[in-house]
A and B are shown apart, each in its own frame.
Chain A
């Protein structure tokens, strides 16, 4: 997994609530046996018409918006456990998603792929949306070390939570498998005691 470094960039707004993982990556694209290529089909049915032409009014297709930060409405990533949703977003080029609420499984999948879910208050989310509406090039800074997100044009800031263990993993590019494999003896001892 790649290390997460500080972001200071413009963002893409997606002010829709309850975006489910079926929208992020529709089921018909889940037939691959590797992790590559999902970015091409991220938000497939919102980005493209049935004939394959781009829908110009969808924010990801709107050239005035750019950047590796996705800012989305409340309850982002609900529904299916498909990690393909996280692969689609990282494959598309996103490094962080900002929302006022994330679904559990998506949040875990994102963290396991170096994609940072930044949960902010509903008021702060609204402030980001309105700043981007005023100026699509508004820069947002996401600092994992200090756990602070800043709208640079206004200086408005908010701190965000992240589990300290997960923070260390992101900062160093570690994943849970490394940790668990090293715990093998403890796990074997647990199995023996559980079976007795």
Chain B
């Protein structure tokens, strides 16, 4: 029987198998940031264990950084201390750091792919659940806890039972106005937030084959929202062309050798998956969430379902919505375009293309937060900054920002925010804030109209 893409990458990284126990998996690249690494550094220090492979670690500051005046010292003392601790730890151990002020600084899952650090066939981890993003390259990439960050520091390995495999196939052609974000929100709404638990997903079919690398990253990014540790897409010419020439990608003959290997990675035709799902591209529409987990999603023109249960009702009560009602027409005062899900240049092109020549509605606060310094520079090169500013949007500096509201970018209690981020949990964007997840196009349209509109009527 043939092997899946996941099998091929996993099996080639198994160092050792414990009888009746987990396997020892070798990790090629370890990404770290300021929030989930300090306790791992101090644990190793307390135990007198050195960092095993510092040259396979790359660090950046993203979760906790301000998105204004980044050249000044961070105002919040705890945040400043956390970022400073990261810098000190990296300097002490000889770890590459793209810290605040560096030309490559950015959200860890935007920075590593655009620099060519992420490559097909690798194993990658980070103390962040959206590490699944890198699966877009045919990489086994997943989030880990801080104890595991310490394990990788100590040994460049992790002890893990091999997950089961799942394939999600979407064939056909997406309708106009349907973006990669809608595809993944649709899949999660269909499968629920726990369907993927214990699995690694592979996304297959026409829709993903036709998608750009940035779109694939948006899809793989949210794999964790259906419970899957990671999601992968088979590497192909689109992948190779994206990686080619990037700062840390192999060059010349080395690159061609790698491509020859990467071409062997896609799942064999006779490979078997533990679970298979099939969807039609034509059934997917622009999506919105109405509840407090990413599985609570509907098509923009649909009504909130009539479900029973205390958890469902608690969720609607938090959101201030009723069963059976539509979201169209709901006034919205906050719009956030950013996060590791949707803060790459294509996302801002989509938004700017819609916004150009229009104005944001007077009631709306619209925040644009690029995923990295490179994306921020590209926004200026393409003149998108002028489009945003002329339309009354606020363009900030790179970071995780209002996705998790660790810095000052918070949504006030009770307010709705159409957000291109990945989680609509209670209080995620600030205490009492109500998050509605959507694509950059839906977010841009909401900002212009000041309320939720059925974007499909504009095509």
Contacts and interface: CB of A to CB of B under 8 A. Distances in A.
Interface of A: 15-18, 20, 22-23, 26-28, 30-35, 45, 50, 73-75, 78-84, 86, 101-105, 108-109, 112-113, 163-165, 175-177, 179-181, 183-184, 186-187, 190-191, 194
Nearest to B192: A75
Interface in B200-220: none
Given A105-B143, A112-B145, A190-B26, 20 more contacts: A15-B310, A18-B311, A32-B82, A45-B427, A79-B129, A80-B404, A83-B145, A101-B194, A102-B197, A104-B198, A105-B129, A163-B21, A165-B18, A176-B147, A176-B148, A177-B43, A184-B155, A186-B24, A187-B26, A191-B26
A104 B145 CA distance: 11
A177 B428 CA distance: 32
Contacts, number: 181
Contact of B432 (A34, A50, A79, A194): A50
Given A33-B39, A50-B431, A177 B194 contact: no
A114 to B, nearest CB: 11
A145 to B, nearest CB: 16
Given A80-B129, A180-B154, A16 B42 contact: no
A183 B197 contact: no
Given A112-B147, A165-B21, A181 B39 contact: no
B406 A31 contact: yes
B21 A108 contact: no
B84 to A, nearest CB: 9
Interface string B1-44: 00000000000100110101110101000000001101100110
Contacts of B131: 81
Nearest to A182: B155
Nearest to A80: B129
Nearest to A78: B193
Interface stretch (B156-164, B275-283, B357-365, B368-376): B156-164
Contacts of B404: 22, 27, 80
A190 B63 CA distance: 34
Given A20-B425, A27-B405, A83 B143 contact: no
A180 B24 contact: yes
A82 B36 contact: yes
Q: Which of A31, A32, A73 has the most CB of B within 10 A?
A: A31
6 contacts: A33-B82, A34-B39, A78-B293, A84-B146, A176-B148, A180-B151
B310 A16 contact: yes
Contact of B81 (A33, A74, A81): A33
Contacts of B427: 22-23, 26, 45
Given A164-B21, A187-B156, A81 B145 contact: yes
Contact of B42 (A33, A105, A176, A190): A33
B227 A113 contact: no
Contacts of B71: none
B143 A186 contact: no
Nearest to B142: A105
B293 A28 contact: no
Nearest to B432: A50
Contact of A104 (B42, B157, B197): B197
Contacts of A105: 129, 143-145, 224, 229
Contacts of A27: 63, 404-406, 428
